[in-house]
Amino acid sequence: MTDTLTIRRPDDWHLHLRDGEMLKGVLPETARDFARAIIMPNLVPPIVTAAEAAAYRDRILAALPEGMDFQPLMTLYLTESTDPQDVAAAHADGLITAVKLYPAGATTNSASGVRDLDNIQKVLEKMAEIGCPLCIHGEVTTDTVDIFDREAVFIETVLDPLRRRLPELRVVSEHITTKNGVDYVKSANRNLAATITTHHLMINRNHILVGGIKPHYYCLPVAKREVHRLALRVAATSGDSRFFLGTDSAPHTDPNKESACGCAGVFSATNTMACLAHVFEQEGALDQLEGFTSLHGPAYYGLPVNVGTLTLKKHTHPIKFPARIETGEGPVTVFDPGLDIYWSVE
């Protein structure tokens, strides 16, 4: 039985750091294990220009504790007034790694998102031309579509037509949660990849609703049926390079989660690597963990793999992770996998 595993230092290809005191509180939880992360731009106001991305990057680096090594990979928040030339210049300068598409109203701070893809066609054409990836929150927001069906409907009505119209556009379907999402990525022969979160590999919708509402499991896209969770696990542990880790770790203070209209988001930065070791061991695929966390993402984004390494160790007793971390904005609850985890990062 394997009790230690050393892999290339991982990256997180979908991360929320927020800003201000929250940023200062949560950044060390990611930088402890991860060398790089794609930083989500849905602040208030959102990061929509190259100048704003540069300023946000500087705030992240200023908040990084001394002695920690971490590179934020910046993104722009795509709006219907985004300037294609601003995107092209920011990408050419290496300031941004991708552009993020939020359908308006899809998730936290997405009110400024896109309502009509026709209005961003010129930006998408420029991105296809220069090879800048588009990261997509893949859900429709139509009131008539059930929340558990929004990903499948998005694939059929938005994503597939977009990719047929612009086959050269490099797309990352972020935080997929369904077998539909897995099957669609597997059907593509180029220019499509997907991130999968830690929590969607470990929970289904019963965790949110059975025995009382559990607000700290509520996220968007919402967790689905067990059949979908199992499909995600097969994809993540398969060695298929089109699937890689994007934690979507999303901090909210406990009062904002535990309210009459609680915020969507699971904060998993603290214990993601230990939880993933548990999942991959369960699936008999520890040898595929490095690919999922450390190799597939850099390959798709055209970046070098990290030079450093990370070692995981399996213990004979369960590891106790902190129930929450304290930030200047208030306490943030850490993802509870709901079972004993025996792995830790050394």
Average pLDDT over residues 330-335: 98
pLDDT digits over 290-328, tens only? 999 999 999 999 999 999 999 999 999 999 999 999 999
- Would you say the pTM of this structure is higher than 0.85? yes
The reported pLDDT for the residue numbered 109 is 56
Using an 8 Å Cβ cutoff, are 286 and 2 in contact? yes
Asked whether the predicted pLDDT for residue 1 surpasses 70, the reply is no
Contacts 24+ apart (CB under 8 A), 82-86: 82/48, 82/120, 82/123, 83/49, 83/123, 84/122, 84/123, 84/125, 84/126, 84/127, 85/126, 86/49, 86/50
Mean pLDDT of the chain: 96
pLDDT band at 105, cuts 50/70/90? low
pLDDT band at 114, cuts 50/70/90? confident
In eight-state DSSP terms, residue 181 is: H
Using an 8 Å Cβ cutoff, are 23 and 15 in contact? no
In eight-state DSSP terms, residue 97 is: E
The share of the chain scoring above pLDDT 70, in percent, equals: 97
pLDDT band at 104, cuts 50/70/90? confident
Largest Cα separation within the chain, whole Å, is 56
- CATH (domain of 307): 3.20.20.140
The reported pLDDT for the residue numbered 116 is 87
pLDDT band at 113, cuts 50/70/90? confident
In eight-state DSSP terms, residue 32 is: T
Using an 8 Å Cβ cutoff, are 210 and 186 in contact? no
Question: Active-site positions?
Answer: 248
For the chain, the helix, strand and coil percentages under 3-state DSSP, each to the nearest 5: 40, 20, 45
pLDDT digits over 34-75, tens only? 999 999 999 999 999 999 999 999 999 999 999 999 999 999
The total number of structural domains that make up the chain: 1
Which domain covers residue 71, as residue numbers? 4-345
**Closest-CA residue to 104 (of 134, 127, 78, 85):** 78
Sign of the alpha-carbon torsion through 328, 331, 335, 336: positive
